[in-house]
Amino acid sequence: MLTEQPNPNSTNIDRLSTLEILQVINQEDQQVALAVERALPAVALAVDLLTERLRQGGRLIYVGAGTSGRLGVLDAVECVPTFGTPPDLVVGMIAGGEQALTRAVEGAEDDTHTARDDMAQHKLSERDTVVGIAASGRTPYVLGAMHYATEIGCKTVGIACNVPSALLDAVDVPIGVAVGPEVITGSTRLKAGTAQKLVLNMLSTATMVKLGKVYGNLMVDVQVTNAKLQQRATNLVSQLTGLDPEVAFELLQASENNVKVAAIMHHRQVNMEIARSLLADAQGNLRAIIGDH
C-alpha cells in the first residue's frame, strides 16, 4: 500500500536538526492539498448526493477507526454549533466506541461483527448516507459497516488514501486521495489524516451551504451557546440588517437568539412568529425571503 511504503524524502529524518525535521514535514504536507484537488470531482458527487438525501429526511453517518474515526466524530460534532443541525442529523461512529476517542482501542478496527452491531443500533434507513473513512482503504470495521449499510439500501461514500482499495470498490461514490508515503512510515495520522480532514470539511460545509445553512459566507444558523457565539450572532445580525450592534443585540434577543429570524423580522417588518413561519415555508433558506442585502 502507498501509505505503508517508506518515504525517500524522510529517510534520514532522525539525523536532522529540529528546523530541518519541520521543513521535511511541511514539504510533505504541501502535497496533501494537491492530492485533494485531484479528488474534487468525486467530492462534488458526494456533496450532491448528501444534499439530496438530507433534503429527503436522511442522515449523514461517518464510520471510521482510529484517527479516521476521530476525524469523522469531530466533523459530526461540529455541525451542531456551526450549522444548527439536530444532533442526530450528522452522526460519527468510531470502532471501539466513545472510549476510543481519547485512548486507542487496539483490535477494534478488525472486528466486522461489532461494526454491523454498531450500525444496527443507529436503525439505518434507506434514506441515510454512510461515509466510510479509512486511510488504508481496507479496515475491516469500516468495510463491515459499509456492507451492512448497502444491505439496508443506504447510499455509501468512501474516503481512502490508497488507490485502488477495497473500500473504494465497495461504495457508490469513491473518493481516493493518494497522498503517498508518510514522513514516518505507516503513520497515517499525518498526511492521510490531514487529507481526510480536508475532505470531511468539504463534505459537511458544501452540503450545509447547499441546504441554506449559510447566507453569503455568513454562519447564519450558528447556535448561541456561549459568550463568544453570542457576540458572533450579534455581529451577524448587524451585518444582515445594517443596524448598530446595540440595536442588533436587542433584535437578536427578540428573536430568541435566531439570526435568520432576526434578519427576517427586520427586513419584512414582522414579529417573531411570522418570521419563523416564513423561514419554515422557505425550508430555512434566508435568501429566498430577504433577497440580497
- Single-letter residue type at 67: T
Rounded Cα distance, 118 and 110, in Å: 14
Catalytic residues: 78, 109
DSSP-assigned states of every residue in the chain: -GGGS--GGGTTGGGS-HHHHHHHHHHHHHHHHHHHHHTHHHHHHHHHHHHHHHHTT--EEEEESHHHHHHHHHHHHHHHHHH---TTTEEEEETT-GGGGTS--TTGGG-HHHHHHHHHHT---TT-EEEEEESSS--HHHHHHHHHHHHHT-EEEEEESSSS-HHHHHSSEEEE----S-SSTT-TTTHHHHHHHHHHHHHHHHHHHHTT--BTTB-TT----SHHHHHHHHHHHHHHH---HHHHHHHHHHTTS-HHHHHHHHHHT--HHHHHHHHHHTTT-SHHHH---
